[in-house]
Amino acid sequence: MLRRTLALLVTNVALGAALVAGITATPAAAQTLPPSAFATTLTYDDSYAAEFKDEVAAAVQIWNSAVSNVQIVKAQPGQRANIRILADNGWPRATLGPVRSYGSVTVWMGRTAVNQGYNVVRIATHELGHSLGLPDRRTGLCSDLMSGSSAPVSCANAQPSSAERAAVERNYSGWYGTKVDNKPVVITDAAGK
Ligand SMILES: [Zn+2]
């Protein structure tokens, strides 16, 4: 009990410092925040990802390299998946997270955007960004992952920006984050929206 109380104290102090730092820090400085002591592991299931399994695996690897407070691993056979990846003929879309290790969300790898020429790894990384709690920010910039189809069709950047990485780190930074329950909101990424 004492140990748990101490751990909570340490966490709250660290989070307090992080929150204060977040108010004044530049995005670059935000990246230097220490990793959470409560890193979250999420599972994903690509059984129904059809022809997109390789791109989904690449997107998972990008996120795992980009952030440390949450990591995504493939669900073992019979294991419940936190992120279900489906392929269909609609627009790419996803449940808005941040999904927790006790929750589940869905990503739809919609072929409509793929057929229009949008980069498939960028689509997968973008939709996983929704799973991790990032909303759309239609800045039109290819350097932003969550700008989605507001960036040119030719944009092949699948790397989250430093601000997007920091936002995911905050979403999985500890007790404050875990209090947020999943909202069953599905974001549809239709071009020209
Ligand atoms: Zn989106």
- pLDDT, tens digit, 9 for 90 and up, residues 74-129: 999 989 999 999 999 999 999 999 999 999 999 999 999 999 999 999 999 999 99
% of the chain with per-residue pLDDT over 70 = 75
Residue 192's pLDDT band (boundaries 50, 70, 90)?
Answer: confident
Alpha carbon of 188 to ligand 1 centroid (Å): 6
The answer to whether residue 96 sits within a structural domain is yes
Alpha carbon of 93 to ligand 1 centroid (Å): 7
The answer to whether residue 180 sits within a structural domain is yes
Structural domain that includes position 162: 34-188
Indicate the number of domains in the chain: 1
Q: Would you say residue 167 has pLDDT above 60?
A: yes
CATH number for 61 = 3.40.390.10
Residue 10's pLDDT band (boundaries 50, 70, 90)?
Answer: very low
Residue 51 falls in the annotated catalytic set: no
Helices (H), the chain: 2-24, 27-30, 53-66, 111-115, 120-131, 162-171, 175-178
Catalytic residue among 51, 55, 127, 164: 127
pLDDT attached to residue 182: 53
The answer to whether residue 2 sits within a structural domain is no
Mean of per-residue pLDDT scores for the chain: 84
Residue 185's pLDDT band (boundaries 50, 70, 90)?
Answer: confident
pLDDT attached to residue 133: 96
Alpha carbon of 141 to ligand 1 centroid (Å): 14
The answer to whether residue 178 sits within a structural domain is yes
**Mean pLDDT to the nearest integer, 160-181:** 81
Alpha carbon of 191 to ligand 1 centroid (Å): 10
The answer to whether residue 95 sits within a structural domain is yes
**Residue 67 backbone phi and psi in degrees, to 5:** -135, 160
Q: How many CB atoms lie within 10 A of CB 49?
A: 21
